[in-house]
Amino acid sequence: MFSPDEHDLIVELMNLGVGRAASALSQLIGDEVLLSVPAVDFIPLSEAQDSFHSQLPECLAGVLQNFNGFVSGRAVLLFPEERSFELLEAMLGVEAGEFDQSELELEALTELGNILLNNCLATISNQLGESLQTDIPEAFTTNSSDLSTRLNLFDQSFTEASILLVNIDFSLKDKALQGHLIFLVDLSSKEPFLKSLQRYIGGLLD
Amino acid sequence: MVCLTELSAKALTDSASVDYSELMDSLANGVIILNRSGQVIFANDWICDHVEGWQENFQGKTLLEMFPNQVSSHLVEAISDACELQLGRILSFQFHHNLLPLIRVTPAGVIQDLNVTILLKPLMRSGLTLLQCQDMTNSVKREQHLKANEKILRTERKALEMIATGSTLDDVSNTLCTTLEALLIGARVALLMLDDNRHGLSVLSAPAFPDAFKVFVSAFEVAPNMGTCRQALLYKKLVVSENVTNDPSWITQDQAIETFSLQSCWAMPILSARNDAIGVLVIYPENYSVPDALQKSLIDRIARLGAIAFERHQHIERINYLAMHDSLTGLANRSLLSEHLHRNLHRAQREKQRFALLFIDLDKFKWINDNHGHDAGDDVLLIVAQRLIKKLRSTDICARIGGDEFVVMLESISNTEAAVMVAESLCELIKEPIKWGNAELNVSASIGISLFPEDGNSADALLNRADDAMYKAKDLGKDRCVRLQASE
């Protein structure tokens, strides 16, 4: 669907966005947060279920944000459920609890995901000179088998969609964990998106 | 039903006339609507009531203009992202403590800071941004309660596991104290145990105190009304002294109050299953204070665990004692004798010293049982045991190993004559008449003597040799001491 150049550009933009998110998070908690993107994969909608199964941990905590603009879709940050709360506890400097899935911790996770997703999406749209709106984020917990349902992957609004699966390495103090970003892109809005990418690549070549 | 349907139909037709501003003002959350430039175009009553210094003519002003030094930079940035770039944002109270100058007045009239989470939702169609303040105060309280309860449950489980798996009382006590210290921030906790005589207190565990605290506790006045701990023991309930410096029951303790920087003292008695006070859980909080309901229940639960640990410890001690002692006389039994004998044998071999065993069998004991009953027999055994104990050195061991059979181990002797002398004096001592009601009971003893190393170099050999010598004493007419010759 994407040419090698376009693919590289998306990876590049993703790295840039994640870098900005890292500095925003560092500023938020007053301690260094390191983020890196070791892998980016494009997956057709039909293979999503299998990919989620094979690539994601069983129990997941996530933050979902819808976006609209020159390209539309859903952005999701996913963490292995247990580790995500460890990370939050480290960020908030609170003592580790036994039952981690509390309403309040889920809310803190929402902001963490919000900052990450907004930075990624805003960086992409800024770089491409386009505009993009994001809705307020919502947090949830699920498991890898139910994820497709949770994300409404197969509802009517996405007859034509593609999935961008981004692995993201997170490290803070002595904690390190891998999270995943999923961008579910509505391909009915493919044209303006592709055009923006090509224009940007064209600009680079000029 | 008809009526309701008619009403709802009417409501539907009237929906155009709903007063949205009234609706907004009745919400329990704060609502502000901002335009693209971040200027306030609407704020509901909640905002006017809860934002300190909210201006009546707010319209057209940004939050930063209204509160130049009181709006957090994170909020300013998020508002600009939301209004200009239309990026939805959540600012959780957990990451941000002072987003806006918010206060609330409690039903009791106390002014408190508010924990809020702010949501910024860009409204796609109008281009406006909805700012929502959600009061998290109650959620936070609920969560704190839950977490505190979880912690207590974990502590209880850990302590019960420790008790069940046979950890020492010291270890369990230390765990209880340190956990309570972790739950009551800044407090120092000690577990005190009532001594066997039920007057003195001794420190079982006081992890946050120096050793001198033990001296202070054990030297504290024995009078029942002195100190908070003693009152807790007396009244068998939590006793709180908010300020020990002016508490009459702490008078004369100025030195300790200063040395250990004591302020308040909360003392919870540790009660046995029979409701006897057996110890005290004592808490010295960081400031002058009294415990709230949650702290009280926490203290109560830890004290109960303390009671279980204490009682379990006492049971184990009792079981160990019973396994090693004769229940009638309290003397060592055969097992404990054997333990001491082996230990002494090794010591004597190592130090090249001599020691003696005296095998004592009472004469005419059966006759007393048959003619005066078993109570009399028991009394005789008890009195003989007491006489033996009184005569012997504390390092010697006296054991009852059968009906009327005793074994005395003289831990070290300088020569054979010394052993014979002790044996003869015991013979005389046992012979002294024993009063039993109006009667006078007379017993005597046959004593067999064996010496280490001359008469054997193992515990069994020495015991057998002393036993044989005792039989020889019986054969020779009882009431005497015998040591077998080497040839016998």
- Decide: A156 and A139 in contact? Cβ < 8 Å: no
CA atoms within 13 A on the CB side of B195: 9
Of the candidates B134, B51, B36, the one whose C-alpha atom is nearest the C-alpha of residue B92 is B134
pLDDT exceeds cutoff 50 at A99? no
Contacts of A128 in chain B (CB under 8 A): none
User: What ipTM was assigned to the predicted interfaces of this complex?
Assistant: 0.90
Lowest mean pLDDT among B170-174, B217-221, B284-288: B217-221
Tokens representing B364 are: 């005419």
Give dist(CA B391, CA A16) in Å, integer.
Answer: 93
Asked if B88 is an interface residue toward chain A (Cβ–Cβ < 8 A), one would say yes
pLDDT exceeds cutoff 80 at B473? yes
Interchain contact, B89 vs A118, CB within 8 Å: yes
Interchain contact, B124 vs A133, CB within 8 Å: yes
Mean pLDDT, range A92-99, rounded to an integer: 63
Instruction: Give me the residues paired with residue A132 across strands.
Output: A69
> Between residues B107 and B385, which one has the greater pLDDT?
B385
B195 CB-contact burial (10 Å; exposed 0-12 / middle 13-18 / buried 19+): exposed
pLDDT exceeds cutoff 70 at B339? yes
pLDDT exceeds cutoff 90 at B355? yes
* pLDDT confidence bin for A38, thresholds 50/70/90: confident
Query: How many CB atoms neighbour CB B206 within 10 A?
Result: 23
Residue located via tokens 């509901």:
B44
In chain B, the N- to C-terminal Cα span, in Å, equals 117
Question: Which residues, numbered 55 to 84 in chain A, qualify as contacts with chain B under a Cβ-Cβ cut-off of 8 Å?
Answer: 65, 68
- Decide: B244 and B256 in contact? Cβ < 8 Å: no
Lowest mean pLDDT among A96-105, B38-47, B275-284, B298-307: A96-105
For residue A119, CA distances in Å to A12, A39, A51, A78, B74 come to 14, 18, 25, 16, 14
Instruction: Give me the residues paired with residue B360 across strands.
Output: B406, B447
Give dist(CA A25, CA B276) in Å, integer.
Answer: 57
Query: How many CB atoms neighbour CB A5 within 10 A?
Result: 14
Contacts of B122 in chain A (CB under 8 A): 133-135
- Decide: B418 and B359 in contact? Cβ < 8 Å: no
Give dist(CA B383, CA B434) in Å, integer.
Answer: 8
Give chain B's mean pLDDT.
88
Is pTM beyond 0.80? Reply is no
Long-range contacts of B250-254 (CB under 8 A, 24+ apart): B252/B221, B253/B220, B253/B227
Query: How many CB atoms neighbour CB B222 within 10 A?
Result: 11
- Decide: B452 and B348 in contact? Cβ < 8 Å: yes
pLDDT exceeds cutoff 70 at A156? no
* pLDDT confidence bin for B188, thresholds 50/70/90: very high
Q: How far is B66 from chain A (nearest CA, A)?
A: 24
What pLDDT is stored for residue A203 in this prediction? Answer: 83
* pLDDT confidence bin for B250, thresholds 50/70/90: confident
Question: Nearest residue of A to residue B131 by CA position?
Answer: A136
What pLDDT is stored for residue B195 in this prediction? Answer: 83
Of the candidates B310, B331, B311, B312, the one whose C-alpha atom is nearest the C-alpha of residue B322 is B331
What pLDDT is stored for residue A97 in this prediction? Answer: 57
Give dist(CA B383, CA B186) in Å, integer.
Answer: 56
What pLDDT is stored for residue B370 in this prediction? Answer: 92
Mean pLDDT, range B253-278, rounded to an integer: 91
CA B50 to chain centre: 45
DSSP string across B457-478: SSHHHHHHHHHHHHHHHHHTTS
Interchain contact, A111 vs B86, CB within 8 Å: no
Ramachandran sector of residue A168 (left: φ over 0; alpha: ψ -120 to 50; beta: rest): beta
| Most B-contacting residue of A87, A102, A114, A121 (CB-CB within 10 A), to test interface | A114
Of the candidates B483, B376, B333, the one whose C-alpha atom is nearest the C-alpha of residue B420 is B483
> What residue spans of chain A are helical by DSSP H?
4-29, 48-55, 81-92, 103-128, 147-150, 190-205
What pLDDT is stored for residue B314 in this prediction? Answer: 87
Mean pLDDT, range B431-444, rounded to an integer: 90
* pLDDT confidence bin for B4, thresholds 50/70/90: very low
What pLDDT is stored for residue B2 in this prediction? Answer: 44
What pLDDT is stored for residue B10 in this prediction? Answer: 56
Residue located via tokens 């909210």:
B54
Asked if B140 is an interface residue toward chain A (Cβ–Cβ < 8 A), one would say yes
pLDDT exceeds cutoff 70 at A95? no
Interchain contact, B124 vs A68, CB within 8 Å: yes
- Decide: B262 and B217 in contact? Cβ < 8 Å: no
Give the model confidence (pLDDT) of A113-126 as tens digits. 999 999 999 999 99
Give the model confidence (pLDDT) of A160-178 as tens digits. 778 888 888 888 877 788 8
Q: How far is B120 from chain A (nearest CA, A)?
A: 7
Residue located via tokens 């190592």:
B350
Asked if A131 is an interface residue toward chain B (Cβ–Cβ < 8 A), one would say yes
What pLDDT is stored for residue B221 in this prediction? Answer: 54
Give dist(CA B158, CA B152) in Å, integer.
Answer: 10
